[in-house]
Homo-oligomer: A and B are copies of this chain.
Amino acid sequence: MRHDGRQVNQLRPIEVRRQFTDSSPGSVYIKAGRTTLLCTASVDLEVPPWKKHEENPSGWVTAEYNMLPGSTSPRKRRDRTKVDGRSTEIQRLIGRSLRAVVDFQALGPRTITIDCDVLEADGGTRTLGITGGFIALVDALLWLRKQDPTCDIQKILVDTVAAVSVGICEGVPLLDLNYIEDSTAEVDLNVVMTGSGQFVEIQGTAEQRTFSHDQLQKQLALAGDGIVELTRIQRDIFGENWPLDQNPSS
C-alpha cells in the first residue's frame, strides 16, 4: 500500500467544478489529491498570424501553463522576465495533446487558448492540466455553440483526451504519482491517450535508473486503466450536456 493509502493502480480522488469563474467561456477547477489547477478556456475570433494567409483559415488551440507562487513551499518565483524551460516544455505538451483531438477546419477561424494555472502542486500538474484543459475546451465549445448554432461540436472534437503519470518506485509500477512518489521514482512516464484508447503522447524518462522493455509494458498497462477512469469522469461532469454522442471510452 502507498503512503497515502492508495492501491498501486488507484487514482487520487478527483474533484471538478465547471464555471468556477464567470470571466471565461471555460473555467474549470480541478483537484486530484492535493494538486489543484484552474483551467480556463478563452476564445479569440482570430486565427494565429501564420494561418491568416490560408484561403479558408482553420482554427487553432494553444495552451499556457504556469505555477502560482503559493502553489509550492518554498514559494516559487514568478516567471516575469522569462519563462523557465520546464514551463515551456509542459505548455507545449498540453497544447499538442489537446490539438490531437480537434479538427481545425471544423473549428473555423477561431483560436482557443487553454490556461492551466496551478494553485497547488503535489505532482502530476501537467497531466491534470490536459485532463482539466479538455473539460474547459468542451465548455468553450458549448459557449461557442450558444453564440453560433452552426458550430458542430461533434465534428470539431474527433475524440476525447486525458492524461496520467505512471512510474516505478522501489521497483513497483504505480499509477498517478504524487510529489513524494514522483521525486523518488526511478522512472517517470507521462501518458496521454484518447477516449478511444489510442496514444497521443508518451514521455518516459529514466530518473534514477534506466528501464527495460518489460517495465515499459507494465507501466503502459497501468496508464491505460487510469485513462479509462479519467475519461469517464470527464463525461460524467457534463451529465446530459455532454456534447459527444458516442460513449468515447467504450
Interface residue ranges, A against B (CB under 8 Å):
20-24, 27, 34, 36, 38, 40-42, 44, 64, 66, 68-75, 78-83, 85-86, 88-89, 91-92, 96, 100, 113, 115, 117, 119-122, 159, 189, 194, 197-206, 210-213, 216, 220
Contacts and interface: CB of A to CB of B under 8 A. Distances in A.
Given A38-B68, A199-B213, A85 B88 contact: yes
Contact of A78 (B66, B73, B120, B212): B66
A219 B117 CA distance: 35
A42 B64 contact: no
Nearest to A121: B23
Contacts of A81: 81-82
A204 B199 contact: yes
A146 B5 CA distance: 27
Contact of A72 (B23, B117, B204): B23
18 contacts: A23-B70, A23-B71, A40-B68, A42-B70, A42-B74, A64-B69, A68-B115, A70-B115, A75-B115, A81-B81, A81-B82, A88-B88, A100-B206, A199-B206, A199-B216, A202-B203, A203-B204, A216-B220
Contacts of A20: 119
Which A-B residue pairs are the 8 nearest by beta carbons? A40-B70, A198-B210, A42-B75, A24-B70, A21-B120, A85-B88, A202-B204, A69-B115
Nearest to A203: B203
A71 B40 CA distance: 9
B38 A119 contact: yes
A212 B220 CA distance: 12
A237 to B, nearest CB: 18
A199 B71 CA distance: 33
A75 B210 contact: no
A200 B210 contact: yes
A117 B68 CA distance: 8
Nearest to A29: B119
A63 B122 CA distance: 24
Contacts of A78: 64, 66
Contact of A82 (B27, B80, B212): B80
A69 B89 contact: no
Given A70-B24, A117-B68, A220 B213 contact: yes
